Amino acid sequence: MQTNKFTLITIGFILVVVFGYQNSTRTTSASRALETIPRTNEDNTVAVLAGLHTSKSVNLAYIGQDLPSTDIYTGNLRLIDSSHEISNVINLTRRNGYDNQPSFSRNGRYMFYNSMRDGQTDIYRHDFSNGTQQVTTTAESEYSPALTPDNSGYSTVVVEGDGTQRLWYYTHEGDPVRPLLERVEPVGYYSWLDSTRVALFVLGEPPTLRVADIRTGLVRTVSDNPGRSLQTMPGSSKVAWLDKSDPDNWMIRMYDPDTRQTESMIPAIPGSEDFAWTPYGSLIMARRSLIFEWDPMGTEGWTGIADLSKSGVRNITRLAVSPSGNRIAIVADH
């Protein structure tokens, strides 16, 4: 998909969106304009005018929630020069209901996600060559399925019969085996850091970001008020997360579990909280139908790389990138 860029300029408290052309060998339509959002927004003009950050962050607790109707789109991802292009976007699920939380296998052949049918969520596996198969048929609801670091089965957040939410281990056939962390709950979201350590979003007032070792059971609290998107940096054990401590200025930060140090990376795009790493070390984030990229070694701010409105993609939330970087999964409104 070939796109232009547009620049978001703030002057005082007036936000002027300037649609312009960019001379590029990849430009085919002057009517498509994407925005570049500055890395720093200390006056918060963008966030205030957009009206999208709220003083109260809302994070999904699965118990008793009416889940939104969402679809999962997939597209080809290609690195050209220093930024990515997205093409061949298709609606993979295309049904009225909750299809969400995609993750890829290490070889990129499979995508795992959860789907709500018959009043509960189960794990589904999509083979990009052979179609989709239901993995679990349990009485419980499973969320956030992913392969375990040793590839021996699935990890998944399970809402148990008594309402307890814990991180579980399942076989490849979809059979529940055991909780990976007996005493840590209610778990909302997670990301594997290495073979034994996992970053956890634990629900509560306030919610907390924790790092746990499934071998020793040791749990360390890193911060309060994280966002739901926890993303391990490729090739490392560092985890990027969204700090919502300041309700008007959400900041993506990175935590190193080895040094226990946290560093600030870049302000989040106003109104967005989900992001994903590419294998080349850049971050991808979205707003409405637009996809943005930030390269810590290059651009100063978020740069628009795709406008997916013509593909019917609206109100993008979650994103996932395959380990090889050739495919992207996008969750958006049905």
Write out the chain's pLDDT in tens, 334 residues.
434 433 333 333 333 333 333 333 333 332 333 445 555 433 332 332 233 333 333 345 455 468 999 999 999 999 998 889 999 999 999 999 999 999 999 999 999 999 999 899 999 999 999 999 999 999 999 999 999 999 999 999 999 999 999 999 999 999 999 999 999 999 999 999 999 999 999 999 999 999 999 999 999 999 999 999 999 999 999 999 999 999 999 999 999 999 999 999 999 999 999 999 999 999 999 999 999 999 999 878 999 999 999 999 999 999 999 999 999 999 999 9
Where do the structural domains in the chain lie, given as residue ranges? 67-272+305-333
Encoding tokens for residue 39? 């890395």
Instruction: Give the burial string for 124-133 (b: 16+ CB within 10 Å, else e).
Output: bbbeeeeeee
Q: Are 319 and 102 in contact (CB under 8 A)?
A: no
Amino acid at 179: P
Map residue 244 onto helix, strand or coil: coil
Q: Which element (helix H / strand E) includes 48?
A: helix 45-50
In DSSP terms, which residues pair with 142 in a beta bridge? 158
How many whole angstroms separate alpha carbon 264 and alpha carbon 201? 19
Q: Name the pTM for this structure.
A: 0.83
154-157 long-range Cβ contacts below 8 angstroms, 24+ apart: 154/112, 154/123, 155/180, 155/190, 155/192, 155/198, 156/114, 156/123, 157/62, 157/187, 157/188, 157/189, 157/190
Pairing of strands 261-267, 275-277: unpaired
Cβ contact 225:245 at 8 Å: yes
Query: What CATH number does the domain located at 67-272+305-333 have?
Result: 2.120.10.30
